[in-house]
Each structure stands twice: as C-alpha cells, then as structure tokens.
A and B are shown apart, each in its own frame.
Chain A
Amino acid sequence: MSMGTGTFYDGATSARQTVTVELADDGLRIGTPDGRLIAEWPYHQLESLSAPNDVLRLGRRGSKVLARLEIIDPTLAGAIDAHAAQLDRGGTIQRRQRVSVVAWSVAATISLILAAWFGVPAIADRLAPIIPHGIEQRLGNAVDTQVRAMLDNGHGKEPFDCGQQASEQAGRAALDKLMQVLSNGAALPFPLRATVVRRKEANAISLPGSQIYVFQGLLSKTDNVDELAGVIAHEIGHIAHRDGTKSVLQGAGLSFLFGMLLGDFLGGGAVVFAAKTVLQSSYSREVETAADTYGVNLMNKIGANGRALGTLLAKIGGATEPGMTILLDHPQTSARVVAINKLASATHLPAPLLTASEWTALKHICGDK
C-alpha cells in the first residue's frame, strides 16, 4: 500500500485537517484531498510519539514546530513503519536506553554504597582532627541542645543535672576533684566537663568538644571510684579521638548522600535512618576498642586500677553507647574485658582517687534517693 488517509495538525494552529498520505521513495507526502501538497516528511526524520494503542502519531525528529500526523489504519501504519527504520514504533531503541540506565544506576548504587561504607568515614576521620576546637565546641553545644531535649523527659521538680542543689554540693566537689585528676592525666589542650544527669539507664556519653554525661543509672551501678573513673576515662578517650565530631560528620555525610539521591521515591526517611544506624554502629566497634585502650592507659598513668572499667562493663552487659546495642552482644563485652585486663598495669598507687567520704558524697550527687 502506498496511499492512505490520516489526520494532520500543522503545529501553527489547532485546526484538524483530513489528509492523504502517500509513501514516496524518500518520505511521506502529505496532501489535501483535492491534491494540494501540504508537507513532505523524509523517512529518517519520522518519530513515533506517545499515543493511544491503536493510533500511530508521527512527528518530525528535532523539529521545533509541533506538527503531527496521525494514522489509524493499521495497514498504512505498518507500511510506514516498514519504510522508516528509525521510527522505533515497537520501542526497541527506548528499551535499549532503559537497560543502560538501569545498568548504570546499579553501578552508581554500588559505588554509592562503597562511598558510604569507606569514603564517608575516611573523610570524617581526616576532617575531624583539623577542625579547630572552637568550632568543635560550637558543634558540641548544638548537639548538646538536641541531646538534652531527647534525654530530659521529666523527673519531678528536680533539675536534669545532678549536683546543682545545696545538698548535692559535696558530691559536685568530689566529681570536680576526680575530673581534675583525670584532666591532668589526659593533658588535653582544653578543659573537660563531666555532669551526672538524672537518667535511669546504665550509660555514659560524650559530645563533640568537651562535655561528658554520666547517667545516674550508671553511677548507682559503680562500687568504687575506679569504676566511675574508668568510664569517664573511656569517654575522655572519645573526646581525645574526636569520635563525637566524627560521627556528626559521618551522619551529615550519609544523610546527604542517601537523602539527596533517594529523593521522594518512598519518603526516604526511614531507609536513611536505618542505613545510618547500621553503618554507624559498624564504625563504632573499633572506635570503642580505641577508647577502651585510651581509658586504660589514662588510668595506668594516674595510678588507678584500669581493670575497674572491665569490671563495670561486665556488670552492665557492655552497651555503654546508645547506638551500640544492635551489634554489640555479650561475647564482644567479654572480649573487651579481656583486652582491658591485658592492658591494665598490675600495680597501682595505694592511695585511692577520692577519700571514702568524698566517694560517698559523689555517690549521692543526685540526692539521697
């Protein structure tokens, strides 16, 4: 078949024209029913455009004018398809394009995951040490506001921080004395601050900068001053290693990498969060070991009992960091205790870090209850 009819829109107006379509040697000749030629479209410029299933809608590839020729007669459509090799009516070219998009996206996904797994921590590790302490302190203050908002959830009329009320001053003084000894031992170029807060969990955290929070629940589990000193020394290790800053940088990097690219395909947030948790807890294990090592060395240096940290860890079952509970199970705790005991020097000074009465006051820093 070399002739047929179709519907033509010239792209200049919306007027509908019924036209004759002739399949010439080099292209389609489109004319009015009375024989006047309207347009000539070469076969190699024909493009099949999105249309209902039973309509072949043609345009000219790359043309700025939106002229359209529509063919309903399936025989004529088939004949045009046979003449124009690049028409892509069956969508072969499009399918090929899509396969390459999917393949490259999978490659991009793999490289993204590799970047998240190796790149982001590596960048955070290199970046954290060169951040000046002043900026780190600011970061710490920002995190502090967030952390306090999350942790401080109601404890009657008493303030969140222990050691502020008159009856708790002796405990605060004892804690200050302990911190003085630990700070001198650590000899960091900035002051350290430790606070006991009213939380029931056996936990302690350190923020970027200089702030350490010991939870009341952990303090009540300690049997002697060396156990508490060991935990604080471990947290000082995190501060000295700038682990808090690193994890903030990692978190920002990861949420940026995944959040931006995932876009809104399913609201993203939950996946981002899960990815963060999984990845960050996998950084944490080596970081914890490093902080343990730092803590025990600090305890050795000030002549206190480094094994006390291990004793306390065994008592509370290991999880001293909030993000650690997922992957850190009891076997890791016992491995940590073994490593701590290996490092701790067998001899330590006979004089304890605090006197018996100071230790009693410190134990009651959150009041008598």
Chain B
Amino acid sequence: MPQPSPDTAGVRFLGERNDFFRLLARGSLFLMVTLGIYRFWLNTDVRRFLWSNTEVAGESLEYTGTPFELLIGFLIAIAILVPIYALLFLATLQLGTIGQFSGAIGFVLLTVLGQYAVYRARRYRLTRTVYRGVRFHQDGSAWRYAVCALFWWTLTILTVGLAYPWKESRLERFKMRNTYYGNVQGAFASSGLRLFLRGLPMWIVVVLPLIAAVVAFPATADLSALKQAIAQGDGGADVMSRIEGANPQLYAVIVFAMLAGVWSMIMGAVLYPAFQAMLIRWWASGIRFGDLVVKSKLRTASIYGGYMRCLGYSLLFSLFLGVVIGTLTVSLMGILGAIKSAPPQAKEILTVGIGLISYVVSMLGYSAIYQSTVKFAFWRFGAESLELSGIHVLDQVQATGGPSSPVGEGLADALNVGGF
C-alpha cells in the first residue's frame, strides 16, 4: 500500500448509531408532548451530534447554533408569513382575474420564498459551523438564488428531469462560490454533463417508459370518438363495449400504460439508493476550497445497507405497534362496553382518539427509524468516503465573517423546506 503523501487526509465519523437513535427517540417523545415545539432543541442536538463526530484531518467540526436562535427565527418567519397568507386568503375571495390566478400567484410566490429560505438557512448553518476556531460563511443574494432556482426547477419539470444535472451543477456552483471557510473561497468543479451521462441509463429505465405510456394515449385513442362513446348512454358495460368499438387498440394501450407505470415504480424504488449514492459522489467530488480538493469514493452498497436496515426496523416497529394498538383498542372497548352509563358517542370519540395517537406515534417512530438508518448512512458513509488533498490550505486560514441571522431557518421550517 502506498503511503499517503503528507498533503492528503481523510474524514472519520466517530458517532455510534445507537447513540443517535437514542437521541432521536427521546426527542420524538418530547416532540409529541410539546406539539412539535421541541423540534428546535432536537434539530440542534442532531446537528451537534453529527458535526462534532465528524473529524476532518484529525480535528472535529463544531456546531455553535442554539435552539433559542431557531425559535426566534421561527417567530420572525411567522411574523413575515402571516400577512402573506392573509393576503393570499383575501385574494381568493376577490372576483375577476386576481381571484382566478391567486392560487398560481401564491404557489409561485411561496416557491420563490421557499428557495430564498433554503439559501438563507444554508447560510445560517454555515456560519454556525466552526472548524479549528474559524467559521464558515456564505455571501451572495438569496433572492438571486431563489429566482435561479425557480428557473432551473421549471426547466427540469418541462424536460421531465433531463435538465436536472444542470440545475444541480448551476445551483451548487452558485452556493459554493459564495461559500467561504474563513478567507478561503469555495468552488464547485463537477459538471452537469458528467452527471447527465451517469444518470441517463437510470432515466431511460425509469422515466422513459412513463413518457411512452403518456404519449401513446392520444396517439392511439381517437379522443372525439371516445367522448362520444361515453356521452351516448347510461354507463356500465354498454359504454365499455362502445369504447372498444370506437377504439380497437385502446385496451392494448391501457394494458401497456399500466405495465409501464408498475415497471417505473418498481425500478424507481430499486434504483433510488443507487441514484442518491451517485449524486453524493458527484457532488462531493466537486467541492473545492482554494487548493483543497475533495474526492468521494462512496460505495453504493453502503447506501443500500442504510435503506435495508430502515426497511427491516420499520417492519419490526409496525408489527410491535400493531400488537400494542390492537390490544389497547380491544381492552378499552371492553372496559367501555362494561360501563352502562357511557354516552353513545364515547365509542366514536375513543376510536378517533386512538386513531390520532397511533398516527402521531407511528409517524414519529418511522421518522426516527428513517433518520437513524438512512440519513445516518448518508452522513456517515458520505463523510468516511471523502479523500482530501491539498490540506495545507487548512493551516493558514484567516478568520472572517460573523454569525448570520436565523430567519432563513425559521422560514424554511414554516414553509416545510428545511433540511438537516
């Protein structure tokens, strides 16, 4: 084995999965009794755990954000969003063009605001990340980012995903160019074309059959004849036979569309972890800080491992939950049946109550399992796969930049676009 030259280093992850799960499980319990207010504390705990257990070139990262900052950011976000929501609500009551388009206007407005929040939230997290006593920070206009993101998302949707690689590379370049570790500017070197070429086989396997099915419909089916066939009579088997008469190939097309849909769903689920692993490799290998070059050799199998673990634990949890809820329901119903003076609607209230609690418990449980398996795998194996070269950069960084406001995090939270 060749000795690593002194200018290279690796990344180690020191955290234990069980510790992480314990943290999440306890947090879920608190989330439940606080109607979610505890999330600011839980998110901070999660970040502290992940950051401080990630050791880059022998020194671990430090997360300096506090839960109170997140809470304040959220309150500011509410102050900003409430008037916007109120105006949108009033606009739907308005007749005429404004009322008609208020839904679309609201959607675009909230999308742009969501992307703005994503960028600002990233800035908050970066300025709370300290390494060797020097913090990261981020420049650049969040509004410009939001408009760029809207443009690229629209293009991605219009091209059925073909523009996705360029969306990723452009937006990532925007982010990384405005990212600094102290006085060292970041950059992003992976190209959209490279991701496109790597992802194209998956696109062909998963998306193309769906497109073919959608295109096949108007091409084969004579729509006006179809409408006539449906409009003619009362329905039932009559309509079906008339439709068949008008469009002899329709059944073949329907069968094809259904097969294509099932195929896309299965292949999409099977290939998704591989896609994510590829995306992480591509993304991480593009990260630069001055002369510092990052390369990722993430193994696809480790991401599949995370998903399989998640699946296994979720099945066990479902089984456990089913037994507990079943026993609880039967015994409570039995007790209720024995009480003669119980009001008649008590049973309904009990059912609704048990349903609501089971929903909350199961959602929080699945979320904790998902985070401690899949997200944990992303973070751990993603970090451990990194190889850094040119680390002499890290020795002479001058500290610049100050902490930024947590408003972006609050907005992202309120608009449901938050990340880690």
Q: Specify whether A and B are partners.
A: yes
Query: Mask for B229-249, Cβ within 8 A of A = 1, else 0?
Result: 001011100000000000000
| CB proximity of A6 to chain B, nearest CB, Å | 13
Once the chains are docked, how many angstroms separate the CA of A108 from the CA of B74?
Answer: 16
Q: Contact size class for A?
A: 35 or more
Q: Is the CB of B414 within 8 A of A262?
A: no
Chain B residues with CB under 8 Å of A260's CB are: 78, 82, 414
Q: Is the CB of A105 within 8 A of B33?
A: yes
Chain B residues with CB under 8 Å of A264's CB are: 413, 416, 418
Q: Is the CB of A105 within 8 A of B35?
A: yes
Flag whether B304 is at the interface (Cβ < 8 A): no
Could you say which of B45-53, B171-179, B273-281 contacts chain A? B45-53
| CB proximity of A5 to chain B, nearest CB, Å | 16
In the complex formed, the residue of A with least CB distance to B416 is A264
Could you say which of B132-140, B188-196, B262-270 contacts chain A? B132-140
Q: Is the CB of A102 within 8 A of B62?
A: no
Once the chains are docked, how many angstroms separate the CA of A224 from the CA of B389?
Answer: 89
Q: Is the CB of A138 within 8 A of B395?
A: no
In the complex formed, the residue of B with least CB distance to A285 is B345
Chain B residues with CB under 8 Å of A11's CB are: 133-134, 399
Flag whether B37 is at the interface (Cβ < 8 A): yes
Query: Mask for B50-83, Cβ within 8 A of A = 1, else 0?
Result: 0111010001101110010000001000100010
Could you say which of A46-54, A171-179, A310-318, A346-354 contacts chain B? A46-54
Could you say which of A13-21, A77-85, A160-168, A190-198 contacts chain B? A13-21
Q: Is the CB of A141 within 8 A of B95?
A: yes
In the complex formed, the residue of A with least CB distance to B353 is A278
Q: Which of A35-66 contact B (CB under 8 A)?
A: 49-53, 55, 57, 64-66
Contacts A14-B396, A52-B52, A156-B231 hold; do A9 and B38 have CB atoms under 8 A apart?
no
| CB proximity of B227 to chain A, nearest CB, Å | 10
Residue among B37, B182, B233, B394 facing the most chain A CB atoms (10 A cut-off): B37
Once the chains are docked, how many angstroms separate the CA of A156 from the CA of B39?
Answer: 51
Q: Is the CB of A50 within 8 A of B38?
A: no
Flag whether B131 is at the interface (Cβ < 8 A): yes
In the complex formed, the residue of A with least CB distance to B100 is A145
Q: Is the CB of A66 within 8 A of B134?
A: yes
| CB proximity of A106 to chain B, nearest CB, Å | 6
Contacts A14-B133, A266-B364 hold; do A109 and B34 have CB atoms under 8 A apart?
yes
Q: How many residues of B contact A (CB 8 A)?
A: 66
In the complex formed, the residue of A with least CB distance to B58 is A16
Q: Is the CB of A57 within 8 A of B416?
A: no
Tell me which of A50, A53, A157, A261 contacts B51 (CB under 8 A): A50
Tell me which of A98, A112, A274, A329 contacts B41 (CB under 8 A): A98
Flag whether B157 is at the interface (Cβ < 8 A): no
Once the chains are docked, how many angstroms separate the CA of A264 from the CA of B70?
Answer: 14
Could you say which of B202-210, B308-316, B355-363 contacts chain A? B355-363
Tell me which of A268, A270, A274 contacts B352 (CB under 8 A): A274
Flag whether A10 is at the interface (Cβ < 8 A): yes
Residue among A11, A50, A108, A112 facing the most chain B CB atoms (10 A cut-off): A50
Q: Which of B325-347 contact A (CB under 8 A)?
A: 344-345
Q: Which of A262-320 contact B (CB under 8 A)?
A: 262-268, 270-271, 274-275, 278
Chain A residues with CB under 8 Å of B355's CB are: 274
The secondary structure that dominates the A interface is mixed
Once the chains are docked, how many angstroms separate the CA of A9 from the CA of B55?
Answer: 16
Flag whether A24 is at the interface (Cβ < 8 A): no
Contacts A16-B395, A52-B14, A156-B235 hold; do A263 and B182 have CB atoms under 8 A apart?
no
Q: Is the CB of B359 within 8 A of A274?
A: yes
Contacts A9-B132, A66-B134, A102-B33 hold; do A15 and B395 have CB atoms under 8 A apart?
yes
Flag whether B36 is at the interface (Cβ < 8 A): yes
Contacts A11-B133, A274-B359 hold; do A105 and B37 have CB atoms under 8 A apart?
yes
Flag whether A241 is at the interface (Cβ < 8 A): no
Chain B residues with CB under 8 Å of A127's CB are: none
Flag whether B31 is at the interface (Cβ < 8 A): yes
Flag whether A151 is at the interface (Cβ < 8 A): no
Once the chains are docked, how many angstroms separate the CA of A66 from the CA of B276?
Answer: 35
Chain A residues with CB under 8 Å of B223's CB are: none
Q: Is the CB of A14 within 8 A of B182?
A: yes
Q: Which of B348-377 contact A (CB under 8 A)?
A: 348-349, 352, 355-356, 359-360, 363-364, 367
Q: Is the CB of A142 within 8 A of B395?
A: no
Flag whether A115 is at the interface (Cβ < 8 A): no
Once the chains are docked, how many angstroms separate the CA of A156 from the CA of B228?
Answer: 11
Tell me which of A156, A263, A270, A329 contacts B413 (CB under 8 A): A263
| CB proximity of B269 to chain A, nearest CB, Å | 20
| CB proximity of A10 to chain B, nearest CB, Å | 7
Flag whether B398 is at the interface (Cβ < 8 A): yes
**Chain A positions near chain B (C-beta within 8 angstroms):** 9-16, 49-53, 55, 57, 64-68, 98, 101-102, 105-106, 108-109, 112, 135, 138-139, 141-142, 156-157, 252, 256, 260-268, 270-271, 274-275, 278, 326-327, 329, 331
What are 22 A-B pairs at a CB distance below 8 A?
A: A9-B134, A11-B133, A12-B399, A13-B182, A13-B396, A13-B397, A15-B395, A50-B51, A52-B52, A66-B133, A67-B133, A98-B41, A105-B38, A138-B94, A142-B93, A156-B233, A260-B414, A263-B36, A266-B363, A271-B360, A275-B356, A327-B348
For the A-B complex with A66-B135, A66-B399, A264-B416 known, give 15 more contacts whose Cβ atoms are closer than 8 Å.
A9-B133, A11-B134, A13-B134, A14-B395, A66-B64, A66-B134, A101-B37, A101-B38, A102-B30, A105-B34, A108-B37, A263-B39, A274-B355, A274-B359, A278-B352
Closest 5 pairs between A and B when the two form their complex, measured CB to CB: A9-B133, A105-B34, A265-B36, A14-B397, A50-B48
